[in-house]
Structure formats: C-alpha cells, structure tokens
Amino acid sequence: MGWKMRLPTAALLLGLVLVVTGEEENNPCAHDPLPEEDTVLCKGLEVFYPELGNIGCVYVPDCNNYREKITYWSEPVVKFPGALDGASYILVMVDPDAPSRSQPNRRFWRHWLVTDIKGSDMKTGNIQGKELTGYQPPSPPANTGFHRYQFFVYLQEGRVISLPRKENKTRGSWKMDKFLTRFHLSEPEASTQFMTRSFEDSRPFQAPGGGDRESKNIQTEIT
C-alpha cells in the first residue's frame, strides 16, 4: 500500500488548497465584510439592491459596474425582520462622510427620510410612508475614498415628524443629532451600513473634469 494510497489524497489536498487560495485572491465580485470597527451598526437591518442582494455591512463589490449602477438604481428594499406589526417606524439613510471620511465637514448628507412606515411593511422591506426626503442614491465624489451609507430605523410611536423649511432645503450638513433630540428619538431599533467609493476611482484612466451628482449638489447648495 503506502504511497499509492496517499498520492491521490495529496493531489486532492493540493487541489483544495489551490481552490481556497484562488478565492481569497481579491475576488472583485466578493461581498467583502466591513472592517471590525465599522460593524457597530450591524443590528438587525437588511438592505437589498438589484443584482447584489443584501449588502448590509459589506463593501459594494468592484465588479460588473456595481459601484456605478448603485448611483442610479432606485431605492433599496430595507427590511427589518424584527419589526412589530402594530407599530410605525421612521427610516433614515445618511452619509456621515460628506464630502470625505477624513474631512466630513458636510456631515450628515441626508439620502432618504421616510416616516409613518407600517410595521408590517418594515418587516417585508416595502418602504411606504411619508417621504420627507426623497431617496438619493449613493454617489460619492471621485478621490474622496470610501463613504459609509448608514441606515437607521426608529420607533415612531405616534410622533408627528416634520422637517423645518431650512432643513428641507438642503441635504448636506444635516444636524441629525439635533433632529433626533427634537423628536426624542434615542436608540434606533435596527441599523446597518455599507460602504462604497466612486466608480471612477477604480478606472485606470480618468476622464479629466468629470463631476458627479453629489459634488454638483454641494456646489449648488453653497451658492
């Protein structure tokens, strides 16, 4: 017996090792998990985009133009399986990294704000209610690194939520903490985040002077 039995086993093991290392080799389509320090918000919320599925607590993969597609896809399915049937909820989506994580002087960028969401809808991810701020897709400007896109669900409990005209006027520099204090909202019932960066950043050659939606908004809102 001896080596004749062991050879196929060795070949099988070698094959397995090759398969495993091949997969670990930076697969651009993988749903790479966020680093440990960015997982604090991973609490009971799922965010589904077309083609990608749930991207809660992962990076938007850098393949199939996903980082570009997400800049024009409409609102995701946001599912809170732990939602209570009789309750009503508030959904907030923000980017704390506007215009960049290292210099977030336009924090928070309000991407979406919906109130009066029925518990039964929150459970299935069918977000309907009063849209105080319409959905704006993630479109991080080029060369500003990865941005976090954060989702929070609060229990509304009969509160009437509105945005003063001043807050409604702009998305950037939103004082979210003041908003929460004003309506006595403390801990979210559920939350999550994903990260992405400009699709232009992964291209070998960049067209000069190409702007994008978020940076254009910054300019128009400043004026």
Ligand X SMILES: *[C@@H]1O[C@H](CO)[C@@H](O)[C@H](O)[C@H]1NC(C)=O
* Residue ranges with strand state E in 44-127: 46-49, 53-54, 77-79, 88-95, 109-118
Residue whose CB is nearest to ligand X in the complex, by number: 133
Nearer to ligand X, 168 or 181 (CB): 168
How does strand 130-133 pair with strand 109-118? Answer: antiparallel
Nearer to ligand X, 44 or 96 (CB): 96
DSSP at 58? B
> Where do contacts with ligand X occur on this chain (CB under 6 A)?
131-134, 168, 171
Q: How far is the CB of 133 from ligand X (least distance, A)?
A: 3
Q: How far is the CB of 82 from ligand X (least distance, A)?
A: 28
DSSP at 44? B
Q: Which of 135, 35, 33 is nearest to 78 (CA)?
A: 135
CB-hemisphere CA count at 13 Å for 131? 9
Question: Which 3 state secondary structure label does DSSP give 190?
Answer: strand
Q: How far is the CB of 113 from ligand X (least distance, A)?
A: 7
Q: How far is the CB of 114 from ligand X (least distance, A)?
A: 10
- Separation CA 213–CA 136 (nearest Å): 10
